[in-house]
Amino acid sequence: MDQVLGQVLRNAVWERLDMLSDLANRADAQSLVSVARSELPRLTEGWRAMLQAHEPDERGDCPTCSTRWHRCKAPCSVWQVAHEHLVAGGLAPQHTAASQDHRREARRRVPGQTRVSAAETTGRHALVNPRRPAIGGVHI
């Protein structure tokens, strides 16, 4: 059940970001000003909250990305991405519409389907691989 809830949460966030990107690309000037006034404060607060969770501890490790057995030195990947997209700006890689459509489709897959995006099967916060059989509702 946690996997399904997690997938619903992720899909809602991705869809919101897709909607904002579409607005930025297609809306008229007056609509853009209205969206910017309402959404920019929310987005900046979201970035601040996320970055605060990734502030290095007294040893210089990211407490969120580190595990008991593997310490992640600051700056972690979250801070690196923040710098890339918020500070470096034009230096950030640009994505084509086709690659965005492909990523949207991959995000909408639910656990239990045969195809899974790389982000769902790798890393510390990965979902249990839905290709593995479930026994008694528990993935093994």
- pLDDT one-digit tens code per residue, 70-87: 999 999 999 999 999 999
93 pLDDT band (50/70/90 cuts)?
low
Amino acid at 81: V
Share of the chain above pLDDT 70, in %: 64
Contact 63, 57 (CB under 8 A): yes
pLDDT tops 60 at residue 97: no
pTM: 0.61
CA distances from 27 to 20, 30, 31, 100 (A): 10, 8, 6, 19
Contact 118, 14 (CB under 8 A): no
Amino acid at 83: H
